[in-house]
Structure 1
Amino acid sequence: MTSIIEMPELVMEKIIEFSDFQSVLTLRQVCRDFRNFIDDLKDSKLPDSKFKQIKIFAIFDNSKNTITFDFVDPEGSSIRIEYSEMENSRTFETEDNPEQITTTILGNSNIVDVAIRDLELALKFQKTKLEWLYLNFNNFQLQNGSSIHTLLIKMNTIFTNPNRRIKTRRIAISTFNESLVLPMLQLADPETLEVINFLGMDHVPEVEAGEIVKTEQWKKAVQLRCEFYLMNLNIENVCHFSTIFSKMNLITSRDLDTLKKTFLSSSKFEKWDLHCKYFDEQEELSDIWGPALDSGSIREWYFRMKTSEEKILRIGVIYTPMIRREHNLIHFDIWKTTDVPDGAVIQGHSEN
């Protein structure tokens, strides 16, 4: 009797073509020949997984050492694969069939190597760029007692190769370890990346901007959301973003004037929200831009855009005293001329 692996290659290719991602991963475990056949297939012979999001979680604590992948399709349904170091196992669970859970004991295999190989295969299936790559290493620690601590190191070895970076429009990063922010960002392909989202981290309130702003990912993205304070950030390094929500440690009136001139000269800018720990140069701003519309809690300036007579740049500076520190919210956004309040002076784009 002929075994399945002895079937003609065309038949084997058709089997793979009509299989889903989880089925192919299962087939790879059948035998070495099947695994080699799948791994050697050209990308064009593989079905499109059509994932919209991939979420990667690394959890390291006293009770649970796991790596988890969530693969989310366009309808929002997901496949979850969890790799347990303590049980040396891999578990499949689908959202559509939560009661159907399949667990495989991995024997002598290293769970990090198995996880990365599965991720490589998932990305090999992916014909289009992801909408989101979500990386959550909040409980992740670089401890030599666990093999999981090598996950990011091994991922960077593979996926920071220019031809292997993960093609995604958006990346979201959450970690307790400041040193992981840069290598996590570098996993994304800068040619497809549009949005960078650094999520809030109570254990990492401040991160040095130095090496992050040098990356191609930072330079080519057009939207930024940063929920921790970027330290020693030069204002020139954010002028290419069309939309910003960011925390900054310090900003000067000259920095704001640079941003104003950048915003006025281009039609690509949409909205900037800057949350600054230290800014005490509101009087200097009035010297540069003229008197503000002062409502007590907020000072506002209005400038006519170079690209449109009907659009107005509004810059608002809100000062709010917070516990143990001062806090300033600085908004740049576009208003219609008809929305400008009475009493406000609209300055020409060439003024100041």
Structure 2
Amino acid sequence: MPSLSEMPEVVMEKIFDKLDIRAIFTLRTVSRFLQDFIDDVVPDSKLKVVEVSVYSKYVWVRYTFSDGSLIINTYEKSENGGCKIVTRKKKVFDELDYVEVFSGDLGNILKFQKSAIQYFSLGWSDVINGSKEIEPITDKILEKLEEILKSRKRKLKVKNVRIDALKQNQVLSILPFVDSEYLETIGISNPESPSNEILNIDKIVQLEQWKQGKILYTPEHIVASSTEYFTHFSKGIVSFLSVSVEGVILLKEVSPVLRRQKRFARSCAFLSSSSFDNFQIKYQRFEEKELLSDVLGLPSNQEENDKKEWIVKNSSNTSFLKIILTSSDVYFMRCSN
């Protein structure tokens, strides 16, 4: 029987395709030949879900693979200043800093990821000391993660991504390195929620990942941006400090002038989009709210609590757009005739 080094490459690839990532990592340490072969062929890690949670004294991660198997590790600072890795079966000690060890392990797994990850999340919080106490740790992890993603030959295929962030550059450590062809949902959470701090997203909205996104969730952040950068989403929730009649109308339908300027990933807004479902805007101020009726006409329904509804039909008459205004929200919903 031939040894692994004597087998044809196509046979070797089929063998590695049947192995999980732990077996591949084990074989990688057996010989220099296997290490070089694995690094050259790069077999798929077959990750489906990556969930990372950063706390003040440790990092928790759960990897879920396509066959349903799990790896759950906790990386924490040991008494001698190194790292203690707690798995479901054992404890392992390392002399390196726990952030370095975690980042190295994450990098090794993502290096071999070829198929699409269904869900990737990075969260961080400290309910006792406040999230800003662990922001330096998170920034260090994000710096390492950005290096990992930059080192890949191809962008990471992720369908749904959720990132805890207090600053724009924290999102920019991950989002630009995700394959926009696969990305559907963008979630930007606030580890300090509730908070009235403004999140600037002027660089984020210029990314191809943003322009090609379909679903957006940023309800815990008050974002600093124009509504024109949200017209292409089919579903979502976003919070603004203030909205205007012009901003609401822009979401309803992009003007011909802006359409000609090609400032949007898609040339239509909620009313004309065949993929639109629903979108919610949370606001603290609505500039000249009373003028909305001048543009949309009299509400089709108005309740005593200042809730108003408008029905706007599209040209195809196959569906219509319902716009609901309350004291703190504007809802857009597609309804069928």
With the length of structure 2 as denominator, give the TM-score of the two structures: 0.78
Which of the numbers 238, 241, 246 marks the counterpart of 1:254? 246
Which of the numbers 188, 213, 237 marks the counterpart of 2:178? 188
Partner residue of 1:224?
Answer: 216
Shift of 1:256: 0.9
Are residues 49 and 231 of structure 1, via their aligned partners in 2, closer, same or farther at CA, if it must alter by over 3 Å? Answer: closer
Confirm whether residue 131 of structure 1 aligns to residue 118 of structure 2: yes
Partner residue of 1:116?
Answer: 103
Q: Does the CA-based 8 Å contact 2:107-2:145 persist in structure 1?
A: no
Partner residue of 2:285?
Answer: 278
The farther-off stretch of 49-58 and 12-21 is 12-21
For residues 221-275 of structure 1, give each alpha carbon's deviation from its aligned partner in whole angstroms, at most 9, with x where no partner exists: 1110112234331111111111121111111011111111232223221111111
Distance 2:22 2:84 in 1: 12
Partner residue of 1:91?
Answer: 85
Distance 1:266 1:11 in 2: 52
Q: Does the CA-based 8 Å contact 1:137-1:176 persist in structure 2?
A: no
Are residues 49 and 158 of structure 1, via their aligned partners in 2, closer, same or farther at CA, if it must alter by over 3 Å? Answer: closer
The 5 Å alignment of 1:151-300 reads 151-160=141-150, 163-175=153-165, 179-203=169-193, 204-205=195-196, 206-261=198-253, 262-292=269-299, 293-297=301-305, 298-300=307-309
The letter of the residue matching 2:53 is F
Shift of 1:70: 1.0
For residues 68-100 of structure 1, give each alpha carbon's deviation from its aligned partner in whole angstroms, at most 9, with x where no partner exists: 32111357552113333336346363xxxx4xx
Shift of 1:35: 7.6
Are residues 152 and 36 of structure 1, via their aligned partners in 2, closer, same or farther at CA, if it must alter by over 3 Å? Answer: same
The letter of the residue matching 2:303 is S
Shift of 1:17: 4.8
Confirm whether residue 333 of structure 1 aligns to residue 333 of structure 2: yes
The SS at the match of 1:52 is: strand
Unaligned runs of 5+ residues in structure 2 are: 126-130, 254-268
Q: Does the CA-based 8 Å contact 1:21-1:49 persist in structure 2?
A: yes
The farther-off stretch of 134-143 and 248-257 is 134-143
Distance 2:104 2:170 in 1: 21
Are residues 248 and 334 of structure 1, via their aligned partners in 2, closer, same or farther at CA, if it must alter by over 3 Å? Answer: same
The letter of the residue matching 1:115 is F
Distance 1:50 1:268 in 2: 30
The farther-off stretch of 69-78 and 228-237 is 69-78
Unaligned runs of 5+ residues in structure 1 are: 1-5, 320-327, 338-352
Distance 1:217 1:166 in 2: 12
Distance 1:102 1:16 in 2: 26
Larger Rg: 1
The letter of the residue matching 1:91 is I
The Cα RMSD (Å) is 3.0
Shift of 1:111: 4.2
Q: Does the CA-based 8 Å contact 1:81-1:90 persist in structure 2?
A: no
Identity %: 25
Q: Does the CA-based 8 Å contact 1:27-1:34 persist in structure 2?
A: no
The farther-off stretch of 230-239 and 30-39 is 30-39
For residues 155-184 of structure 1, give each alpha carbon's deviation from its aligned partner in whole angstroms, at most 9, with x where no partner exists: 212314673432101101124556523324
Partner residue of 1:80?
Answer: 72
Shift of 1:149: 5.1
Are residues 257 and 223 of structure 1, via their aligned partners in 2, closer, same or farther at CA, if it must alter by over 3 Å? Answer: same
With the length of structure 1 as denominator, give the TM-score of the two structures: 0.75
